[in-house]
Chains A and B, each alone.
Chain A
Amino acid sequence: MAGEQLVLTGLMAVLLVVIVGSLARIEDWRSYTPLVSGGGGYGEAPGHAHREKPGGVVRWLTTVDHKDIGILYGVYGVIAFAVGGIMAFLIRVQLTIPSGAIVGNNFYNSLLTSHGITMLFLFGTPIIAAFANYFVPLLIGADDMAFPRINAIAFWLLPPAALLIWAGFFTAPLTGNDIAPAQTAWTMYTPLSAEQVNPGVDLMLLGLHLSGVAATMGAINFIATIFTERGDDVNWANLDIFSWTILTQSGLILFAFPLLGSAMIMLLLDRNIGTTFFAVEGGGTMLWQHLFWFFGHPEVYILVLPPMGLISYILPKFCGRKLFGFKFIVYSTLAIGVLSFGVWAHHMFSTGMDPRLRASFMAVSLAIAIPSAVKTFNWITTMWNGRLRLTTPMLFCIGFVSNFILGGVTGVFLASIPVDLVLHDTYYVVGHFHYIVMGAIGFAVFAGIYYWFPIITGRMYQRTLGKAHFWLSMIGTNITFFAMLALGYLGMPRRYAGYEFDAAIAPLAQVTNFHQIASIGAFILLVGQLIFVWNIVTSWLEGRHVEGHDPWNLERDDMLGNEFTWFKQKRETALADGGEDEEESALADGGQTAEQQ
């Protein structure tokens, strides 16, 4: 034991020396001079600079450029989406037969837990940060984020967070399951999460805590950027809708994530130091549910508001008309942001809470449907009599609206106490929120990726593959999650690794059928996402270069956004500087617009 400690200490010391040595090699600490423009920014470019960034891997490890960090977030988010998606597919394969097809119950619990946490914290929040990092400064006319280095720190906290959250999957085979992946479900309810002795739970909590720190740092940065870094011609009246939603989301993060972080520290202390925050003799187990959902419900809007902003921003571009009721969409965004902190106990209707409190939470939960519906009707009205162009991003926007209606309406039902008491903890809830997280948030993310793909890569994606991706996703989503709604009505409880029920409890044959239908839908979804990854990777590497700065032909309707204006300037500057051949040839073509889909 002492020997092991000694080796570990030696290893750590060597590592520290290596880090200090390598830092001393690439960095000249004695040359630092205070920045003229105050902290945070780059200040004046020092005399040595001829390029903004170093080359190769070092560029990506040291960059503080918001566009690079946006790309890093994006790649990270897509990888997390792939990991979480594979976990989801394994879950669906398992549930094709009542006894469970491929894995044991414990491993199923681990998959279930990690799928939820991966998709919400490692895919959802970071992929939104990817868009926000790349495009908010461009949209508001800022040179960069207010705190570029904090921006980089926030990103670099995420890879270790992911490794910690997934750590149990790697350590379980090495340690004979002594350190296994957490089996707490993503809600980490006490006393289950406090009493599982598995250190894998501690690692997951630490990873989650780090991802929360990262999200909070990012949120502070976005708020500071939008308030203080706007260009001269951008004011509150003409701030674009995507930046409005990022601002609101950042406000929500600022109030919600530190609370989650504190609650997780309390849980870690309960687990490791013997405190009694959530023990029956201490704060009680219900305290966790209140703290968790006080974070957890705003988290839903943290995840959905920016995608709503993406839809509000992109959808009008392909309708040939401005967003209908812009002001009311902004107001409804702010209203949702405020109301989201007053609905958390609707996740706890069946816990035996005071009926008067319960009724008030029901009222606020139902009320939040109003601003959501305002947005939905405004999107539909924007499309009404518009000159629709069914490009891939537009298809995903329309898919978003369709799926959001289904996910939203089922949510209104669940907000009603009597309905919730029947459907609580069934697959109905799973179907409801997956319509939102996959059918809406996922679709908005795809819309954003396709819409801005030409700016980020300078190339166009493959149109046919994009459309195949949309239709497989739309069909797969609706088969999978509609089947889950039906399963909920049949009484199938969520989270179960198998369903060999007594026929008196649930109609087994029907439950099996709907599970199999859901799994078929998941297979269709998987094929769609494989096509997506193939399309993005191959198009990025060797796709056709965009011709001109307006690949979507937006100038015709006077709808070219600030980011495409920036793209135009970038291309012109590259040409004036004798830039790359590819861009010269694109402009030499006369700046023709790219393909119309």
Chain B
Amino acid sequence: MSEEPGLSDQYPRASPWPLFVALGLTISEIGVFIGIFAVAVFGLLLFGGSVAGILTESGYTTRPWPTLLAFGGLLAVAGLAVVVWQVPLDAVTLENFGQNGLLARGVAVVASGIILVLAGAVASVVEQTSA
């Protein structure tokens, strides 16, 4: 436990998470629908991380890492499913990445999912080993 109490511990009617959940959802939508890879990944990471944070803060989960794993896994599976279902296999190439709108969006979602899963797994392991 740190010396300084966190904001939501110090003040019962304050939480830093809702603002970032809303921002994350907004930026994810813009990134995915407009099709801007970096923005989509950033938005989904922010959204996934904030959801994990707010669920933990409000006591629905004890630690945030399982939420990151689940949310990331869901994203990865959903993104992969869309690509497999809608993009012909021979079109899945590096050159085609910038051309095919669906491929780029699918890859963005999969990439965000994988990063979230990795983050969740690493944090979980680090926490358990340091405890």
* Residues of chain A having any CB pair with chain B under 8 Å: 1, 5, 8-9, 11-13, 15-16, 19-20, 23, 26-35, 38-40, 42-43, 45-46, 48-49, 51-54, 58-59, 61-65, 68, 148-150, 152-153, 155-157, 160-161, 164, 199, 202-203, 206, 209-210, 213, 268, 272-273
Complex CA gap A52/B13 in Å reads 5
A31/B59 contact (C-beta < 8 A), A52-B13, A152-B15, A213-B25 known: no
Q: Which chain A positions have C-beta within 8 A of B41?
A: 12
The binding surface of chain A is classed by DSSP as helix
Shortest C-beta distance, B129 to chain A (Å), equals 15
Contacts between the two chains (Cβ within 8 Å), count: 166
Give B1-36 interface residues, CB cut-off 8 Å to A.
1-2, 4-23, 25-26, 29-30, 33-36
Complex CA gap A19/B30 in Å reads 19
Partner of A35, one of B14, B36, B59: B59
Complex CA gap A341/B59 in Å reads 38
Q: Can you name 8 A-B pairs with beta carbons within 8 Å? A: A8-B38, A28-B5, A54-B11, A63-B13, A149-B54, A203-B30, A206-B30, A213-B25
* Interface contact A160-B6, CB-CB below 8 Å: no
The binding surface of chain B is classed by DSSP as helix
Complex CA gap A31/B15 in Å reads 14
Q: Which chain A positions have C-beta within 8 A of B19?
A: 61-62, 152, 156
Complex CA gap A161/B29 in Å reads 11
* Interface contact B42-A59, CB-CB below 8 Å: no
* Interface contact A19-B2, CB-CB below 8 Å: no
Shortest C-beta distance, B115 to chain A (Å), equals 10
* Interface contact B25-A210, CB-CB below 8 Å: yes
Shortest C-beta distance, B131 to chain A (Å), equals 10
* Interface contact B45-A16, CB-CB below 8 Å: yes
Q: Which chain B positions have C-beta within 8 A of A35?
A: 58-59
* Interface contact B42-A15, CB-CB below 8 Å: yes
Most chain B beta-carbon contacts within 10 A, residue among A40, A61, A160, A161: A160
Complex CA gap A160/B26 in Å reads 7
Chain B interface category by residue count: 35 or more
* Interface contact A62-B7, CB-CB below 8 Å: yes
Partner of B34, one of A15, A48, A202: A202
Q: Which chain B positions have C-beta within 8 A of A12?
A: 38-39, 41-42
**1/0 per residue B92-109: CB within 8 Å of A?**
000000100110000000
B53 within 8 A of A: yes
A153/B18 contact (C-beta < 8 A), A43-B59, A202-B34 known: yes
B62 within 8 A of A: yes
Complex CA gap A11/B7 in Å reads 27
Complex CA gap A43/B33 in Å reads 38
Partner of B53, one of A29, A38, A43, A156: A29
Closest partner residue, chain A, to B17 (CB atom)? A149
Complex CA gap A150/B19 in Å reads 10
B85 within 8 A of A: no
* Interface contact A30-B2, CB-CB below 8 Å: yes
A149/B18 contact (C-beta < 8 A), A49-B12, A213-B25 known: yes
Shortest C-beta distance, B23 to chain A (Å), equals 7
Partner of B46, one of A19, A52, A206: A19
Most chain A beta-carbon contacts within 10 A, residue among B11, B23, B35, B49: B11
* Interface contact B5-A53, CB-CB below 8 Å: no
